[in-house]
Amino acid sequence: MVRKKVKAVLFGPQGCGKGTQGNLLSDRLGVPLIGAGELFRSEITAGSQLGKLVQDYVSSGTLAPDELVNAVVANQLKRLDLTRGYVLDGYPRNIEQANYLDRLTKVNLAIYLKISDQEAVRRLSGRLQCSACKFVFHETESPPAKPGICSICGGKLYRRDDDTEDVIRRRLAAFHFMTEPMATYYRQRGVLLQVNAEQSIPYVFQDIMKKIIKLGFFA
């Protein structure tokens, strides 16, 4: 069997573990993890006209339109070496963006990390982040050795303002409306890989890898 290079997008609701699984996949598969946030920050740092437009939206706290988001992603991706494959996290966020991405690079795997709203609320409402090194703990699943103190650098831990239940549920509603329909889009394309992300981190990763290998990808 000729094994394929992974050209994947990673998506799921807040709290599903995209960042963790993305890093694990990048290390295991030897492909770059491309975060949408990093692409936008690079464009802003470059001081381009696109970057200035993005900064205006960031500063005002409003959502950038698809046309601008797509333009930034296209401009940044052309500067990267995608021949080894990649895992893309944070883009696309809707079907329109997914269509545009397919014109830039043919995605051959869409990994949907699925969790219930109840689990997302439980995970996010228990998060504690270090004010210094930004490492994230959880009150019950991965608590710090000393309450309120980062076990990595000794910094003070805090709860993010957007990790309250009402804010979390609003963000989840936006995910269900805008992003979740991508599961149908990628299923129709025959590239969807849906995973139960309510398992522990090692089991989620093991599940992903088993399915990737079964589908004939390099692993």
- Active site annotation includes 28: no
- The active-site residue, picked from 7, 122, 123, 127, is 127
Q: Which residue has the tokens 């050209």?
A: 7
- The active-site residue, picked from 7, 18, 122, 123, is 18
73 residue type, one letter: V
- The active-site residue, picked from 4, 114, 171, 189, is 171
List beta partners, residue 31.
none
- Active site annotation includes 171: yes
d(CA 204, CA 60): 37
- Active site annotation includes 78: no
Q: Which residue has the tokens 């990808």?
A: 217
Q: Which residue has the tokens 């339109």?
A: 65
| Among candidate residues 3, 8, 46, the one with its CA nearest the CA of residue 26 | 8
- Active site annotation includes 5: no
- The active-site residue, picked from 160, 170, 210, 214, is 160
- Active site annotation includes 103: no
d(CA 71, CA 64): 11
* Helices and strands (H and E) in the chain: how many: 9, 8
Round the CA-based radius of gyration of the chain to a whole number and report it. Answer: 18
Contacts with 77 (C-beta within 8 Å, 6 or more apart), sequence order: 34, 39, 104, 105
Point out the residues that are catalytic. Answer: 18, 93, 127, 160, 171
